[in-house]
């Protein structure tokens, strides 16, 4: 007989942990099966005593004042600081303080989700054709494209205007333009969930790869594999928190899950309306903050000592950020969409070489100086990670309602969570993933009471 109060959660990312905490506190017996040897999913904090700071290989910034993140961090007593500093741009004339933000906001403000949906690139070219090739407008369009592809890790020719507008509204509600970091990185959030889960009947099993789920209404058998071989577990309800790229994977591929019978057609159709973005990021630790030596082109007396972000049109790493307000010799390179595609398949040495070349061109620091000062590079290939297969998700043209369809329960037996299923337009964020976990937990509690 299936234990009616048992729930199996597939995936120990923040969505799975949030759901487990809520279900455990509601009196359910919860088992989490996680394929990796760690919890967190696409939250991946690395600690190196030599760095004097957490190294984030996945999510890094706390965007805005979302209660899903701030409440557990407050309970944990975590020290949180707001990101400060100056934004610098690489221009044809050299390095200068960025002045494009207002023009980008003006372009983005023209998007209207009451009109038929269209790709962002189509919107940009239709609304701002610029037949006269006016330089300032061309520059503003380039920066806007860089923002859409960089911040959202999205292909501008695929991402839908409706999805972008709804995301912008969601950001405004939580002051999403502000960014914060926790003292120990996102480990502070994971520790908050660890403490909550530790007080409940919740068991986490890592290194357990789920391969197949046989189900019928009110019962499921989950087949997995760990170091000891095949394992099987039965439960009345299963919560899937896997990335949508894994749900799309073909049966038999590492990380993929086969459903018997297969999922309803409307569920499968929702997969195709949601795309997983591509990102390559690398963290470089130097012996010193080399950018402090660099001066503004238009003001030689002004250095980049307080640089927080650096933007360029570089084809590999167009965006960089420092550890500000901490003045540490650490800088992170961000290569989204097309830039990430160019580096697909490179190992850490190859990506490091590309990153150093990009810094050389952007900052004007000699390559040999960069190499001799570099102490370590930190890198994780999310595209090649079989349990992620990319970064976070965005909505394609016509994706209205796709997140709701993806997250909808099936026969009160199969439930779904994860940032791609968030219905508050916070897809691609940690707080969106947490919100989806809480939503799925509510659905399970309600189903158990029927």
Distance CA 221, CA 258 (A): 12
- Which DSSP helix (H) or strand (E) runs through 238? strand 237-240
Q: Are residues 196 and 108 in the same domain?
A: no
Structural domain for 240, as ranges: 6-43+186-274+394-449
User: Residue 384 domain-assigned?
Assistant: no
Name which of 448, 293, 284 is nearest 363 in CA terms.
293
| Bridge partner residues of 423 (DSSP) | none
Residue where one domain finishes, among candidates 321, 354, 379: 379
Cα–Cα distances (Å) from 50 to 55, 127, 185, 251, 372, in that order, read 11, 50, 16, 43, 17
Q: Are residues 264 and 289 in the same domain?
A: no
User: Residue 285 domain-assigned?
Assistant: yes
Distance CA 19, CA 28 (A): 11
Q: Is the dihedral of CA 21, 22, 23, 24 positive or negative?
A: positive
Instruction: Give the pLDDT score at 3.
Output: 67
Contacts of 88 (CB under 8 A, 6+ apart): 95, 96, 97, 98, 296, 304, 307, 309, 310, 311
> SS in 3 state form for 114-172?
CCCCCEHHHHHHHHCCCCCCCHHHHHHHHHHHHHHHHHCCCCCCCEEHHHHHHHHHHHH
pLDDT digits (tens, 9 = 90+) for 410-427: 999 999 999 999 999 999
Distance CA 441, CA 22 (A): 6
Distance CA 387, CA 385 (A): 5
Name which of 327, 14, 338 is nearest 188 in CA terms.
14
Query: How would you label 193-226 residue by residue, b for 16+ Cβ within 10 Å and e otherwise?
Result: bbebbeebebebeeebbbbebebeeebbbbbbee
CATH number where 267 lies = 3.50.50.60
What's the domain count of the chain? Answer: 3
Instruction: Give the pLDDT score at 52.
Output: 86
User: Residue 194 domain-assigned?
Assistant: yes
Contacts of 36 (CB under 8 A, 6+ apart): 12, 206, 207, 387
Residue where one domain finishes, among candidates 379, 409, 424: 379
Q: How many CB atoms lie within 10 A of CB 377?
A: 17
Longest dimension (CA), the chain: 76
- Kindly tell me the burial class for residue 50, based on how many C-beta atoms sit within 10 Å of its own C-beta (0-12, 13-18, 19 or more): exposed
User: Residue 407 domain-assigned?
Assistant: yes
Where on the phi/psi map is residue 189: left (φ > 0), alpha (ψ -120 to 50), or beta?
A: alpha
Q: Which residues of the chain have pLDDT under 70?
A: 1-3
Contact assessment for residue 377 and residue 355, using Cβ atoms and an 8 Å cutoff: yes
Q: Are residues 266 and 401 in the same domain?
A: yes
DSSP 400: T
Q: Are residues 298 and 374 in the same domain?
A: yes
Q: Are residues 290 and 314 in the same domain?
A: yes
User: Residue 90 domain-assigned?
Assistant: no
Q: Are residues 227 and 145 in the same domain?
A: no
Distance CA 341, CA 148 (A): 16
| Bridge partner residues of 63 (DSSP) | 179
């Amino acid at each position: 007989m299936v234990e009616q109060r048992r729930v199996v959660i597939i995936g120990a990312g923040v969505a799975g942990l949030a759901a487990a905490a809520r279900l455990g506190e509601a009196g359910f017996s919860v088992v989490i099966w996680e394929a990796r040897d760690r919890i967190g999913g696409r939250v991946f904090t690395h600690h190196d005593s030599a760095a004097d700071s957490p190294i984030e290989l996945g999510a890094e910034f706390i965007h805005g004042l979302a209660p899903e993140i701030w409440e557990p961090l407050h309970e944990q007593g975590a020290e949180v600081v707001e990101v400060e500093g100056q934004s610098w741009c690489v221009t044809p004339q050299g390095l200068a303080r960025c002045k494009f933000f207002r023009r980008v906001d003006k372009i983005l403000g023209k998007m209207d989700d009451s009109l038929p949906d269209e790709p962002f690139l189509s919107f940009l070219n239709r609304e701002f054709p610029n037949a006269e090739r006016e330089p300032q407008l061309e520059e503003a369009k380039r920066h806007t494209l860089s923002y859409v592809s960089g911040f959202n890790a999205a292909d501008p020719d695929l991402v839908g205007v409706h999805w972008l507008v709804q995301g912008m509204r969601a950001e405004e509600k939580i002051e999403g333009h502000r960014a914060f970091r926790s003292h120990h990185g996102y480990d502070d959030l994971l520790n908050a969930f660890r403490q909550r889960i530790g007080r409940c009947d919740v068991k986490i099993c890592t290194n357990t790869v789920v391969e197949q789920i046989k189900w019928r209404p009110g019962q499921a058998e989950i087949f997995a594999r760990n170091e000891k071989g095949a394992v099987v577990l039965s439960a009345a309800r299963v919560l899937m928190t896997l990335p949508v790229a894994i749900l799309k994977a073909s049966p038999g591929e590492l990380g993929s899950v086969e459903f018997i019978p297969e999922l309803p057609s409307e569920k499968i159709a929702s997969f195709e309306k949601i795309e997983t973005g591509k990102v390559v990021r690398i963290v470089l630790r130097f012996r010193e903050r080399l950018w402090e030596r660099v001066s503004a082109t238009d003001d030689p007396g002004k250095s980049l000592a307080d640089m927080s972000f650096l933007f360029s049109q570089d084809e590999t790493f167009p965006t960089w950020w420092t550890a500000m307000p901490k003045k540490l010799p650490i800088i992170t390179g961000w290569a989204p969409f097309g830039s990430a595609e160019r580096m697909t398949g490179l190992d850490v040495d190859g990506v490091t070489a590309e990153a150093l070349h990009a810094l050389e061109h952007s900052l004007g620091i000699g390559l040999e100086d960069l190499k001799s000062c570099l102490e370590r590079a930190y890198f994780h290939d999310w595209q090649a990670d079989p349990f992620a297969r990319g970064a976070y998700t965005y909505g394609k043209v016509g994706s209205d309602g796709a997140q709701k369809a993806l997250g909808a329960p099936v026969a009160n037996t199969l439930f779904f969570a994860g940032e791609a299923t968030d219905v508050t337009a916070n897809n691609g964020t940690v707080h969106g993933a947490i919100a989806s976990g809480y939503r799925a937990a509510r659905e399970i509690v309600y189903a158990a009471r029927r």
